[in-house]
Amino acid sequence: MDPDAFHRSLTVVDGHCDTVLDLVGRSLSRPGGPPRDFLERGSSGHLDLPRLVEGGVACQTMALFVEDALVFDATAETHRLIDALESVFERTGAFVPAKDATGVRTAREAGKVAALLSIEGGECLGESLDELRAFHARGVRMLGLTWNRANALGRGVRAPGPGGLTDFGRRVVREMERLDMVVDASHLSDEALDELVAMAERPVVASHSNARAVCPDDRNLDDARAEAIARTGGLVALTFAGAFVDADPARVSLDRYIDHFERLLAVVGPDHLGLGSDFDGYTDAYGVVLRSCAALPELTRALLARGHAADTVRKFMGENWLRILG
């Protein structure tokens, strides 16, 4: 098998990136850097349209994240981030919004890259399901209930004290399921995640989390919680963020990333793993797995070289996400 030809045959879906912040000059991967033009091939940062094309990406999930300093205005700020993304759509016919698997496949068949809108942290909802419906009307199809902090929906993984989901958080989950929105569990506290999977009636995802057994960071998933997500029919999408690959930046590598893949493959099986790069959501000081999305063929080559079946790689690189989005 020609690994590069095989990669080109894949429908690659990435479940998370923070590149929208780069468009408005608030980059997480290049703190203090100026805004980047998404349509120009950059020499900094991790992701833009030309590099998505080079990497063979069919669908890139674009996360809408509001930093601590702006969280007081999270609703308006999230709408402004959608405005910035929509301005990109208006400038090109090559990057197009998609709301489901059909939209992704249609875009790929037309030689375009699809964009799936996701919200990272439910602060933008306030305490109103109407706000959730408003974001759904603007095309958002996935929402992470919390970031690291606590909010009106529940407790994030870095927030002190006990507590899981709130009553409002449970109402949000039920409404998301009604609206066919994907519930994202990354960044939840363990207690909140346990409560989520116990109540979920539709598949739950962790859009950018690794294996805690390989790298013991609370942001990663232990085996039991990865299994619980899989039992909902969902998936765990593995992140390139170095801090969640290995605590020692010198040990962060593509091979170490595949150690996470293999651990979770043994735990949840090939139908419940996906890609969730978190490109532009971290700095390279913590170690580098891949330099940018243009290097994604290296991941396919490495998985095949480690002896993984083509069907397993195909599911991981996108087919499992398409099932969720279907």
CATH no. for residue 270? Answer: 3.20.20.140
pLDDT of residue 45: 95
Q: What is the pLDDT of residue 152?
A: 98
d(CA 174, CA 109): 34
Which pLDDT does position 166 carry in this prediction?
98
pLDDT per position as a tens digit, 113-138: 999 999 999 999 999 999 999 999 99
- Work out the angle between the directed axes of helices 190-199 and 223-231 (0-180°, nearest 10): 20
Q: In sequence order, what DSSP letters do the residues of 253-309 get, joined into one string?
A: SHHHHHHHHHHHHHHH-GGGEEE---BTSS-GGG--S-SSGGGHHHHHHHHHHTT--
For the chain, which residues score pLDDT lower than 70? none
- Bridge partners (DSSP) of residue 204 are 183
Q: How far is CA 12 from CA 2, 153, 192, 297, 315, in A?
A: 17, 31, 30, 10, 9
The pLDDT value recorded for residue 1 is 83
Max CA separation in the chain (angstroms): 53
3-class DSSP state for residue 179?
Answer: coil
Identify which of 202, 51, 20 has the alpha carbon closest to the alpha carbon of residue 118: 20
Q: Is 19:49 a contact under the CB 8 Å cutoff?
A: no
Helix (H) or strand (E) holding 21: helix 19-23
pTM over 0.75: yes
Q: Please, which residues bridge with residue 237 across strands?
A: 274
d(CA 214, CA 252): 12
Residue 307 bridge partners (DSSP): none
Instruction: Tell me the DSSP string of 56-80.
Output: TEEEEEEEEE--GGGGGGHHHHHHH
The domain total for the chain is 1
User: Residue 259 sits in which domain range?
Assistant: 3-325
Measured CA to CA, the distance from residue 118 to residue 182 in angstroms comes to 9
pLDDT of residue 90: 98
**Residues 7 and 300: beta-carbon distance below 8 Å:** yes
Read off the amino acid at residue 176.
M
Over residues 165-202, the pLDDT tens digits come to: 999 999 999 999 999 999 999 999 999 999 999 999 99
For 154: left if phi > 0, alpha if psi spans -120 to 50, otherwise beta; the answer is: left
Half-sphere exposure for 267 (CA within 13 Å, toward CB)? 25
Instruction: Provide the pairing of β-strand 235-238 with 204-206.
Output: parallel
pLDDT 10s digits, 246-259? 999 999 999 999 99
The single residue listed with the structure tokens 């962790």 is: 206
Q: How far apart are CA 241 and CA 239, in angstroms?
A: 6
Let me know: does 113 contact 96? Beta carbons within 8 Å: yes
pLDDT for 185: 98
